[in-house]
Amino acid sequence: MNSKKKLFFKGILSLFFFSILVSFIQGNQLAVIFSQINWGFLLLSFALSPVMIAVSCLKWKMILDAGGSQIPFAALYRIYLIGYFFSNMLPSTVGGDVVRSYYAGKMIQDQSYSAIAIFIERFSGIFFLFFLVVLTPMLLPALYQSLYVFVPVAASFVLIIVTFWIARVKNPYILPRKFFVFFLAICTSVLTFVRYKKRDDLVAVVDARYGRFMVRLEKIHMKLLMALKTIKKDRKLLFQLVLLTALFYVLTWINVSLAFMALGVDHKFLEICALVPTILFVAHFPVTLLGNLGFFESVFVFYFLLVSVPAPASLAMGMLLRMKMLFLGIIGFFVYMKYKQETGDDLKKLSMKT
């Protein structure tokens, strides 16, 4: 599927999820909620966003510094904001992480290590999230009884094991390859038995898809090995990454709580701690455009219904979080325009490469 088809498909999905969200709203419920805004909590909520970016940016800087680069924090913060613009405001195949990696790579004159630094920063957050998804529902054990919580918990547990497997085993592809060959043999036998005329074409398509999957897995494996090699050089770095990642997720819980408080919505912080990791895990799947527009809000609405938070209240909270993303994206746009004037680089070369 080419880029234009992907963008079109994601656009259709965005409209689909928005139609679902609208079905939860009756009359002027959203207008009533937004009319009760607490401006003090709203300002605190907006003020928290640059702090969260600073934490992520500090983690990124520590990883780059470990490779011998000494980029000023302010410069990385600017690039992070530019990445926000590309991730949340442009229906582009050039994501924010790619942009950050490209600009930082130009500054340190090493695109390879810049890409590894982005991988470590992102993957450390995602890997930490896997543990949170498994453990935080213990704060409200009844949540494990819900299939919508249990499935992400089981998936996260499997992903933790798979990550350790890929990191520890020299050739982690032998077992999946054997499984695939066995699966393909069964499929071929079944198609032969039913006399499916296009059997060979279908088998070829499946085999090609598997080949592309294995190429991606190999890239992840290599990046993971290089990331581990970087971290092993400095054990202190690992400790710092864990602390900063934990701090980021604490700030994420506070971020959601402040958004609820800004809208005057009754909620329990314990419920936020228990559910938000699962929400973030599900919302990570790149289903729609512009930072998962529509899908992101739908996931919040759906999961907070499990703890009896009314759908309009969760939707209003999700919309407020979206407004904050767009606000940061607008700031990122102006930073990008100024940065482009200073460097003469408007990312056309990067767009062509991707």
Q: Which residues contact 155 (CB under 8 A, 6 or more apart)?
A: 281
DSSP track, 40-94: HHHHHHHHHHHHHHHHHHHHHHHHHHHTT----HHHHHHHHHHHHHHHHH---SS
Answer yes or no: is 237 within a domain.
yes
For the four alpha carbons of 251, 253, 256 and 260, in that order, the dihedral sign comes to negative
Q: Which residues of the chain have pLDDT under 70?
A: 1-8, 10-11, 14, 18, 22, 24, 26-27, 90-94, 288-291, 347-354
How far, in Å, CA of 109 to CA of 138, rounded?
46
How far, in Å, CA of 120 to CA of 217, rounded?
16
Residue 5: exposed, middle, or buried by beta-carbon count in 10 A (0-12, 13-18, 19+)?
exposed
How far, in Å, CA of 231 to CA of 233, rounded?
5
Gap between the terminal Cα atoms of the chain? 14
Answer yes or no: is 266 within a domain.
yes
| Structure confidence at residue 11 (pLDDT) | 67
Specify the amino acid at residue 296: F
| Structure confidence at residue 274 (pLDDT) | 97
Q: Are 300 and 281 in contact (CB under 8 A)?
A: no
Answer yes or no: is 13 within a domain.
no
| Structure confidence at residue 352 (pLDDT) | 43
| Structure confidence at residue 104 (pLDDT) | 93
How far, in Å, CA of 49 to CA of 168, rounded?
37
Q: Are 320 and 261 in contact (CB under 8 A)?
A: no
Supply the range of the domain harboring residue 297. 29-353
The total number of structural domains in the chain stands at 1
* Unique residue bearing structure tokens 């990642």: 245
Answer yes or no: is 16 within a domain.
no
43-98 per-position pLDDT tens digit = 999 999 999 999 999 999 999 998 888 889 999 999 999 998 988 776 654 578 88
Q: Phi, psi at residue 266, to the nearest 5°?
A: -70, 135
**String of b and e for 157-188 (b: at least 16 CB within 10 Å)?**
eebeeebeeeeeeeebeeeeeeebeeeeeeeb
Q: Which residues contact 28 (CB under 8 A, 6 or more apart)?
A: none
| Structure confidence at residue 92 (pLDDT) | 55
| Structure confidence at residue 10 (pLDDT) | 66
How far, in Å, CA of 98 to CA of 268, rounded?
37
Of 44, 30, 12, nearest to 251 by C-alpha is 44
Q: Are 317 and 261 in contact (CB under 8 A)?
A: no
Specify the amino acid at residue 276: V
Q: What integer best gives the mean pLDDT of the chain?
A: 86
| Structure confidence at residue 51 (pLDDT) | 97
| Structure confidence at residue 295 (pLDDT) | 82
